[in-house]
Amino acid sequence: MNRYSVIEKKNPREIVLLRGSGCKWKKCTYCDYHLDFCKDEEENFLLNSEVLKNVKGFYKKLEVINSGSFTELDKKTLDLIEKICLKKGIETLYFESHYIYKKKSMEVKKYYMEKGITLKIKTGVETFDEEYRERYLHKGFGFVGVKEISEFADEICLLFGIKGQTEESMRKDIETGLENFERVCINIMNKNSTPVLPNRNVIKTFSEKIAPAYENNDRVDILMDNLEFGIGAKVQEVFLK
Beta bridge partners of 155: 122, 183
Q: Which is nearer to ligand SF4, 32 or 41 (CB)?
A: 32
| Total interface residues for ligand SF4 by CB under 6 A | 11
CB of 56 to ligand SF4, least distance (A): 28
Min separation Cβ 96 and ligand SF4, Å: 8
Cα–Cα distance, 128 to 115 (Å, whole number):
33
> What does the alpha-carbon distance between residue 48 and residue 58 come to, in Å, rounded to a whole number?
19
Among 23, 78, 174, 235, binds ligand SF4 (CB under 6 A): 23
Restricting to residues 186-225, name those near ligand SF4 by CB under 6 A.
none
Q: Are 75 and 42 in contact (CB under 8 A)?
A: no
Closest by alpha carbon to 164, among 187, 120, 196, 142?
A: 196
CB of residue 151 vs ligand SF4: minimum separation in angstroms? 18
21 close to 41: Cβ distance less than 8 angstroms: yes
CB under 6 A: which stretch of 7-15, 28-36, 178-186, 202-210 binds ligand SF4? Answer: 28-36
Which of 57, 62, 125, 68 shows the shortest CA–CA distance to 96?
A: 68
Q: List the one residue from 11, 48, 67, 105 that touches ligand SF4 (CB under 6 A).
A: 67
Binding mask 123-142 for ligand SF4 (x = CB under 6 A): -x------------------
